[in-house]
Amino acid sequence: MSVEFFRYGATGAANLVFDWLLYFSIFHFILRQQMLHLGFVTLSSHIAALAFSFPISFMSGFLLQKYVTFNNSDLRGKVQLFRYGIVVVANLVINYIGLKLFVDVFGWFPTPSKMAITIVATGVSYISQKKFTFK
């Protein structure tokens, strides 16, 4: 196992647990499992929790990957951030579709659904970050 792969796993796991705890806290304690009415649109609590937790885990994930895992990349930080954003948006789409499917169609609980979806998104993310974002 390469040092880079180990660091990706360690930082990714740390950010993943942080994301799950943040999602759980927002879903249960801030939104209290209630729909979020914004006037012009209403979001289900599991989608609203994703919307609130996303920007926070996005930045923590980028900083961990840039400064811990892929710190040998010669690309400028702005380029890395842009590319990281593209990969994360793809993962956000995977998360959104997965949550809609697992929670709204299959009737599964939101937090375990988010955890299951994350496993798929992690595989996509590692390959994309290594070959595209921080090459």
| Residue 95 confidence (pLDDT) | 86
| Residue 61 confidence (pLDDT) | 93
| Residue 23 confidence (pLDDT) | 94
Domain boundaries in the chain?
3-133
| Residue 21 confidence (pLDDT) | 96
The whole model's pTM is what? 0.74
Alpha carbons 114 and 17: distance in angstroms, whole number? 12
| Residue 81 confidence (pLDDT) | 94
| Residue 124 confidence (pLDDT) | 84
- Spell out, as residue ranges, where the chain has pLDDT lower than 70: none
Would you state the structure tokens that stand for residue 74, as one six-digit string? Answer: 């010669």
State the residue for tokens 């390959």.
Answer: 127
| Residue 121 confidence (pLDDT) | 84
| C-alpha distances in Å from residue 110, one per residue of 23, 61, 98 | 10, 22, 10
Q: Which of 9, 8, 1 is nearest to 71 (CA)?
A: 8
